[in-house]
Amino acid sequence: MDLTGEIAKWSSCYKPNRNVGAIIVKDRRILTTGYNGAPAGIESCKERGECIRNNMGIASGERHEYCYAIHAEQNAIIQAAKMGVSIEGATLYCTHQPCAICAKMIVNAGLARVVYLNAYPDDFARQIFELSGISVELYK
């Protein structure tokens, strides 16, 4: 979990409390990492010096489409696809509980387990994980 925190420091999110890091691990080997940040070639919120979500008054856990950043979990899954690395049956470690969008991607990517450090206000994500049978654990 310490490593997810280090990876979160790479985030290009304008809000320091929303720097998120993720690692996908299988058989005690790191397969991919991800952090939340703008898509390649697009100016990040940190570079812009503002948060579009703050400007629009959007609460945490709502309207994810109004954010330049790709979530850490999404970036870790995308990196696996880009590099041709199978993540089926792997564990995703993350600094924060995944949102509903990430939860759906985690299910379809074939991940078996999610371990997170910080809660996130998204009850629907927890429901998706419960329905899918994916093990989700709060790190202690």
Q: What is the chain's alpha carbon radius of gyration, rounded to the nearest angstrom? A: 14
> Which position among 6, 43, 65, 73 bears the catalytic label?
73
The alpha-helical segments, DSSP class H, found in the chain are 2-8, 45-48, 52-56, 72-83, 100-109, 123-132
Residue 44: both structure tokens together? 């990040």
Query: Does the annotation count 6 as an active-site position?
Result: no
The DSSP bridge partners found for residue 114 are 92, 136
| CA gap 139, 41 in Å, rounded | 34
State the catalytic residues: 73
